[in-house]
Amino acid sequence: MKNTRPIHVYMMPGLAANAKIFRFIKLDPRFEVHLMYWFMPKQNETLNAYAQRMCAHIKHPNPVLVGVSFGGILVQEMSKLIDCQKVIIISSVRTRKEFPIHMRITSKTKAYRFFPMQWVNNLEDFVGFVFGPGARKRMDLNKRYLSFRHPDYLNWSLDVLFNWAQTEPIEGVVHIHGSYDLVFPILYLKDYISVPKGTHVMIMLRASWFNENLPKIILGQYTNKK
């Protein structure tokens, strides 16, 4: 008898984002999608410790983990703690070496510590400070999607993001990236699946591409890799 059990796919949104960014992703019945959400970090919590707590929300063995942007960094840390069928990152990076120059400088100088969190309701200023003025001008931001913006969470996020210690890619991680991504420009990337004209928010703006190709990528049937 044919096995009809679905493949469980857990999806993690990006920094300050909620799971509504996945609202246009529609996978066929072979897959069961589970949306994950940011929760408040503990004081001085490491990214590894946060990843351990997030793993407690994984209810199925050997899942597929999908993470967008900062969520892609988190799911990579989670994959060090649990067995995964596949780890897929979107609009993200596999190591800190793939950070653009301004992020490397910010990391080295610790300038992120001086971000005025009273600006937190101005999401464009926040994104511009973290990822650069190009991202502030061109990212299609909406408070409907970037709703998790408690100052303690944002302070923690900046700290663990800029201090992420990963220097070598984790074997087997699949990286999907847009050719027009201004947050993590392709200039610094290697070994990724390219989405032509995809921006940093292509999970919403290019949902049709993902609906067509994500099943193939999960099943290992996609071959057009950069």
Task: Determine, yes or no, domain membership for 205.
Answer: yes
**pLDDT at residue 87, as a whole number:** 98
Task: Determine, yes or no, domain membership for 1.
Answer: no
Given a cut of 60, is residue 104 above it in pLDDT?
yes
Task: Determine, yes or no, domain membership for 103.
Answer: yes
Task: Determine, yes or no, domain membership for 207.
Answer: yes
146 to each of 18, 19, 51, 142, how far by Cα in Å? 6, 9, 21, 6
121-133 tens-digit pLDDT:
555 555 555 555 5
CATH classification at residue 32: 3.40.50.1820
Share of the chain above pLDDT 90, in %: 67
Task: Determine, yes or no, domain membership for 224.
Answer: no
Task: Determine, yes or no, domain membership for 75.
Answer: yes
Domain span at residue 68 reads: 7-218
Given a cut of 60, is residue 89 above it in pLDDT?
yes
CB atoms closer than 10 angstroms to residue 24: 14
Question: DSSP letter string over 59-95?
Answer: -SSS-EEEEETHHHHHHHHHHTTS--SEEEEES--SS
Which one-letter DSSP state was computed for residue 191?
A: S
Residue of 41, 62, 71 lying closest to 53 (CA atoms): 41
User: Tokens in use for 50?
Assistant: 């946060």
Q: What are phi and psi of 61, to 5 degrees?
A: -70, 150
Min mean pLDDT across 79-83, 88-92, 140-144 is at: 140-144
Residue type, 174: V
Q: How many domains does the chain have?
A: 1
Task: Determine, yes or no, domain membership for 14.
Answer: yes
153-196 tens-digit pLDDT:
988 998 999 999 999 999 999 999 999 998 899 999 989 999 99
Q: What are phi and psi of 7, to 5 degrees?
A: -85, 125
Residue of 100, 73, 109 lying closest to 88 (CA atoms): 73
Task: Determine, yes or no, domain membership for 159.
Answer: yes
